Structure 1
Amino acid sequence: MSYAKQMPPTNALAGELRVALGQAARRIRQERGAAGLTDPQYNVLLWLTKKGPLTPGQLAEIERIQPPSMTRTVNGLVELGLVQKAEHPTDGRQVVVSLTENGVAEVAETRRRRDAWLTARLQEMSADERRLLTDAIELLRRIAQS
């Protein structure tokens, strides 16, 4: 595959990159663990994996959604046995949400499926294409962190 293409104007490149990244992200998110969680439910599990136990209010703030919406999401995860609620150690009006062993397993399984899907796609590519993607990773990180 030749990459010696004419460079599009920067605004056109931005639009094409945005669309391609969105499509790739949506396709990767289709690979899910056995629980078949929605994106908001899975995001809660990811935040709890990354930050440890949090209140529903903290989760709502992180996800930039209204607390009642987060309460519904958390309650659904409790019903699935993926998170548990416990009394807040200093504020009796609040609860703290944490992952259960099943929640940890669901995150691991979803990551495994997503990595397996993406690995299979990468194995279909030539070595030159994989090298190009390797170079692009740093550029995409720079964009994401700006």
Structure 2
Amino acid sequence: MEAHVELRRGVVRLGRRLRQERAEGALSANKLGVLGHLRRNGPATPGAIAVAERQRPQSLTRVFAELEQDGLIERGPGAADRRQALLSLTDLGRQALDTDTGERDMWLADALDRLNETEREVLRLAGRLMDRLADAEP
């Protein structure tokens, strides 16, 4: 059980560090999730995105509104109920996602370069372990 606690603590600390060191104006985790979902799966309803991202639709309402206001997503015409409207990624949204992902990848590459060989091996083993845990049935 102690290894589980250590692993969770490490993941939380890394996530916190990534959030703290994000570039000014970088996308939030929820915005990245929505844009990434639309890129991978194409147009979808707000409810379908929320389910896929394991969120409640109302918790993403502000995210959808801000993304639409910023021109990163657009709503399909003709939906009487905003919850059933099809959302799609705009070209500006694709560009913002690419930029944010590129900056995050550079930060991670720099952090990985500072690891010694033992730390890199531990990281590789932890990655394999995380894959196995993700594939395990609850």
> Fold match, TM over 0.5?
yes
Aligned residue for 2:67? Answer: 77
Residues 35 and 102 of structure 1: CA distance in aligned 2, closer, same or farther (over 3 Å)? farther
Aligned residue for 2:115? Answer: 125
Output the TM-score relative to the length of structure 1. Answer: 0.78
Unaligned runs of 5+ in 1: 1-10
Larger Rg: 1
Q: How many residues align?
A: 134
Matches within 5 A, 1:70-109: 70-87=60-77, 93=81, 94-109=84-99
Shift, 1:68, TM fit: 3.5
Output the TM-score relative to the length of structure 2. Answer: 0.81
Q: Secondary structure at the match of 1:43?
A: helix
More helix by share: 2
Structure possessing the higher relative contact order (Cα contacts under 8 Å, 6 or more residues apart):
1
Across the aligned residues of Structure 1 and Structure 2, the Cα RMSD in angstroms comes to: 2.2
Unaligned runs of 5+ in 2: none
Sequence identity percentage: 34
1:56 to 46, 52, 60: 46
Whichever residue aligns with residue 128 of structure 1, its letter is T
Q: Deviations over 1:83-140 (max 9, x none)?
A: 111136xx66431101111111111112111111111111112223223322321111
